[in-house]
Amino acid sequence: MLRERILATRRLRVDVLASRPWWLGVALLYLPIGLVLVAARLTVMLSFVLLGVTLLGRRAARALGRRWVLPLLGFRVRASGGEQLRALREGSEPYVIAVNHVSYMDPLAVSASLQELGVPAFTYLASVAMGGAWPLALLGRLGFARDFITTTGSAATPAQRATTRAALIRLAEPRPGDEPRGPLVLFPEGQVHDCERYLLRYERFCFGLGLPVAPVAVRHLHPWPVNFWFLGDHPLLSALWLLFVPWTTWESTALPVMAAAPGEGAENFAARVQAETASALGCQSTAFTMVDVGELLGFSPAPR
């Protein structure tokens, strides 16, 4: 069921091509245009990175990336529901923003969406299991996040999990007189997937910190007959396909802030946040996890 009904298993959307075969002709005509777009957009990305790490400050790099670079890459961002976060933004206490994970480019697009929602500074909880820590350092230097707390998810050793947990607890601790620290932003599934029909289980790790949680429901909208992620996909290939098509849109909606009920455990709270997000997306919650996906990919997590 997980393989066939929840996760995409191939790049091309065969159902769309079968019902609209004229897409094949469009694809052949578009191929040279798309290849030129990839080359041009890679040049834009490289130029932005060089400017960001050598000449621009973090704030200037963030403004340039949001206003010019992302649109040139074909990444459109729409955000709504900022009023749901107003009380949290105006306070000085930390809180959690839980975002469903639709693309390997989410750290860029979600950062721009959060800026539109009035959240310019935040800390990402991000996995380093696949790409290491250097991409996170680069994103921070370019202003896409203020700080990062790293995790290796299900592959973490007990010592690594303890280190991550300690960093999360420090973030949640009150610091009287300190400037607002902004929220902790995380992707609770721990795994990219399209979130069109089903939503993978939200892991409980950050739902037991005693902090309010602001769910954000993200849809990756596009008319193209391709899957920008499928089972076994490589992040680099996914990124190149995103640069190949004319545009895609990240539509983010901030949902009402949620808090754990008295006596409610982290797992039940996570499931409740997941259900609210799935309802907003019009899809179904599942109990399948990133570990289940890893098993299909032939990845064995470290022993607990």
Spatial separation of the C-alpha atoms in residues 78 and 88, rounded to whole Å = 21
Identify the band that residue 100 occupies on the pLDDT scale cut at 50, 70 and 90: very high
Q: What is the pTM of this model?
A: 0.86
| Full set of structural domains in the chain with CATH | 2-296 (3.40.1130)
Whether 124 and 107 have beta carbons less than 8 Å apart is answered as: yes
User: Which pLDDT score, from 0 to 100, does residue 152 have?
Assistant: 67
Question: Percent helix, strand, coil in the chain (nearest 5)?
Answer: 45, 15, 40
The secondary structure of residue 32, as a DSSP letter, is H
- Of 219, 216, 225, residue with least CA distance to 186: 216
- Of 241, 218, 216, residue with least CA distance to 228: 241
Identify the band that residue 294 occupies on the pLDDT scale cut at 50, 70 and 90: low
pLDDT at 302 over 90: no
Distance set, CA 5 to CA 1, 101, 231 (Å)? 5, 18, 12
User: Which pLDDT score, from 0 to 100, does residue 68 have?
Assistant: 94
pLDDT at 129 over 70: no
pLDDT at 304 over 60: no
As given in the structure block, the two tokens for residue 183 are 């929220």
Among positive and negative, which fits the CA dihedral 270, 148, 131, 229?
positive
Residues near 291 by beta carbon (within 8 Å), at least 6 away in sequence: 154, 301
As given in the structure block, the two tokens for residue 289 are 């996890």
- Of 154, 202, 187, residue with least CA distance to 300: 154
Q: pLDDT (tens digit, 9 = 90+) per residue, 263-282?
A: 999 999 999 999 999 999 99
The position carrying tokens 């570990």 is: 291
pLDDT at 299 over 50: no
Spatial separation of the C-alpha atoms in residues 221 and 248, rounded to whole Å = 6
Distance set, CA 123 to CA 41, 246, 262, 280 (Å)? 27, 31, 27, 25
Q: Report the range out of 53-62, 148-157, 189-198 with the highest average pLDDT.
A: 53-62
User: Which pLDDT score, from 0 to 100, does residue 125 have?
Assistant: 83
The mean pLDDT value of the chain amounts to: 84
- Of 295, 292, 296, 276, residue with least CA distance to 284: 276
pLDDT at 223 over 50: yes
